[in-house]
Every structure is written in structure tokens, then in C-alpha cells.
Structure 1
Amino acid sequence: MSASSFPGGTSLSNLDVYDGAAPDGVCGGSPHMHLVSTEAYVVTGGRGALQTIDGEGFRETALEAGSVVWFTPGTIHRAVNRGGLNVVVLMSNAGLPEAGDAVMTFPAATVADPAAYAAAASLGDSYGRAERAAQRRDLAVAGFETLRDALLAGDRGPLEEFHAAAGALVRDRAAAWGRLVRERPLAQAEHSLALTEAVARGDIAHLGEARVQQAVPSAGERGFGMCGRLRTYDVTDDKENLQ
């Protein structure tokens, strides 16, 4: 992984939340959770909501331009679009979510079967990706409704079973995640600590190495993410876009 001085070892993307309706009539993305990473939304336009399931139950948080909300690992979240919702997404542990940190809330039997989960999550080739994205969203919403309704009825059993199945689903790939954390957020924290110690002893040599970096947006049409159409940004250093 290339080095990045982008703050906090995070990744950055711009999200237009899906505006098509799921079978329950709600427009938005595929409910899912991250097992290790914290995600933040900075709302830049439109309105909507973030529906979440966590240790305190089901909750809906209103979103509008200027809203900033973040959610820690284990928070099942569903982005709801009620009109032109656009979000800048900051994700901790850059590279880790793409390495399999996210699990969608498909029905229990699908999450418990790695082959079935992989088939349900796949968007296939470039043809028909929009339709596949809608299909997997609808399947994730079905599982989300089961979890939500059980919690509202006072039954935590389905949520605990989902947590266990999600952990089992990603366990084998998780062994590689430590490297990603060490190479980005941990390396940045250690570098910052080294700079504070240098300044404290009167060493300011690093000031002469200051540079401006600029992110490069992904080319072409926006990709199909879990929550909507996505424009990602390359925030690695030492690209030719150095100012």
C-alpha cells in the first residue's frame, strides 16, 4: 500500500445515495455493518436519514446539508434518501473496508453460507450492475427488517446471530487486516508522535519537507457502492498532482 499523509489514515469518497425504492417503499442503500472500521457522513446536499441498529436498538437520525454523523464498528446502517442526498464519506482504516470489513444484512441463511453470501453480494460484470445493486439492496433490506422488528419486540436473538455469522464470514480474511492498520493509521500516529518529540527537543527539520497534496478522483461513471453511486479518491502521496 502506498504511503498517504491524508489525515488519520482515512479514505474519502463522494456518495449519491440511491434514489430507487426498496420493497418497503423506502429509497436508499443496502443495510450493512463494518466489523472494524468507523464511518462518518458529512452531508453536502439533499435530505434523508440514517437508520441504524446497534446495542441500544433501532434508531433513525435525520440528515440534511451540514449534518455530520459517524458510527462505530458493529453499527448496522441504512442510508435513506428523501431527496437528492449527497454525502462525503470518511472511512477509518483506509483499504480495510475494501478488504472485506463490511457485511450486508442478508437473511440469516445467506449470511451463514459463504458461497450464498458471495453470490448475493456480487455485482457481476459491467452489464446489469444497476439491477444487481438493486437486487442485493432489496435482499439486505429484508434481513434488516427482520433484525429491526425483532429488536423492537425485545428479542436480541436475531441480532446476536447476525453478529456471530458475520464474524465467521470474515474470519479468514481478517488475518491480513492488521497490516493495513499498521501501514496507514498506526504509521500516521507514530509519525505524528515522532514530530512532537522532535519539536520538543528543538528539531524542526521536517518543516522544510512540507508539501501540498491533491486527491485524484476516480475516472468515468460513479461506481455502484452499497449505499449509492460512489466517486472514490486516491489520497496516496507523491503523485504527479503535487502542487
Structure 2
Amino acid sequence: EGDILILEALLNNDPKPLSNQKDYLPILHNDLKVIEPKTQTEEDEPPKVELKELPPHLEYAFLGDNGKWPVIIAKDLSSNEKTDLINVLKTRKKAIDWKLTDIKGVDPEFCSHKILLEEDYSPKVQSQRRVNPKIHYVIKKEVEKLLDAGLIYPISDSPWVSPIHCVPKKGGMTVIKNDENELVPTRLVTGWRFCIDYRKLNEATRKDHFPLPFMDQMLE
């Protein structure tokens, strides 16, 4: 009980905001409509997942019959290890987020994230850079997907605005012929990764005195 009280005190003891950011701390918008996901993944309704090519050290395993409920596991596991792992995953199937709509949010009345800024920085509003029609379509579909899942919502008065980028997903190298019938190595693009350029915000963010350790440090 004593440890719980100490943890509760630490969580409630927020650092004092700097003078340049007192107006930009997150507040609870009671007027915002809570958006429920349009569809929920039911236990008896397996998600429709596109199985992509995996690196040579990984392989797909399935928690259901007929190739349903796919997961990715290491290929070099023994037969008994694979069986034990799949049995554990089957008992914890609800813990896996199969779709965006499965991700549960945190009630802002319980916990609200805020970014502490350095004192000599002010908010930056960056305009969206022009993109070609193909990338524009990718961005549009990704935003619509996040809106439908209830993970984002429109806001028109944010003091910080960062531009969107689409980064190509690398799919290895191949060789093709150019106009002069020469063999030229070319990198395959299997898709696009939706990213947001937060460099301006990162520059203004107050750095943590005690950053989280790397995973290998935790396991040593």
C-alpha cells in the first residue's frame, strides 16, 4: 500500500509549466464528441489481414483454422517451442490489437499527455508541403482510416502544426533494363509509410533527465 501511495504522489506531482507554455497545455474538452469505432473485431470474426513477404528469419503462424488469426514468429524455434508459443498466444488472443479499431484509448480524465517546452521556444505552425497525386491519395486514405478508428479527430486551433511525409517502404533490390538496354540495380518500393515531421517540436521539447533505458539494458 505504501508503494501505491508513493506512485500516486509521483503521478500527481506534475512539473510546473514554463511561462511560455502555460496557454498550450492540454485541457479536457468536454464539448468534444467521443467517437466510437465503426467496427469492432469480434472473437469469432477474424480480421482480414494482407500477408506480406517476411524476412528469412521470420514466418507466419495461425491461431485459428484455415489460415485465420495470423501472427509472426521466429522461424528457428523448435517444434515444441512453436507449439507452446501458439498455445499461449491463443489464450491471450484478446490482448493482440488486430486492427486499429481494437486499440483502446485512455480516458483523459484519468491521464492526459502533455509536452513540456523549453523557455525560449514558441509554437510553430508549418504548412503542408505539396505532394504528387499518388502520395496525396496515400495520405488521404491513412487519415480517413485513423478518423474511422477514432484515433484522431479534427481540430482547427492547434498552436502546433507539423507537416506530413510519406516514406517509401524498402523491398530489397532488383535489376531492370533502362532505355539503353543496360542492367541497372533498382530498389523496390512495396508501399508507403505515413510519417509526421516533428523536428521543430523535438527542438522545443524539454529533455528528460531520466530517459527510458533501451531494451537490452533492461535485460542485462
Place the TM-score, normalised by the shorter chain, in its bin.
Answer: under 0.3
Q: Choose 1 or 2 for highest CA Rg.
A: 2
| TM-score (structure 2 length as normaliser) | 0.23
| TM-score (structure 1 length as normaliser) | 0.22
Larger relative contact order (Cα-Cα within 8 Å, sequence gap ≥ 6): 1
Higher relative strand content:
1
Higher relative helix content:
1
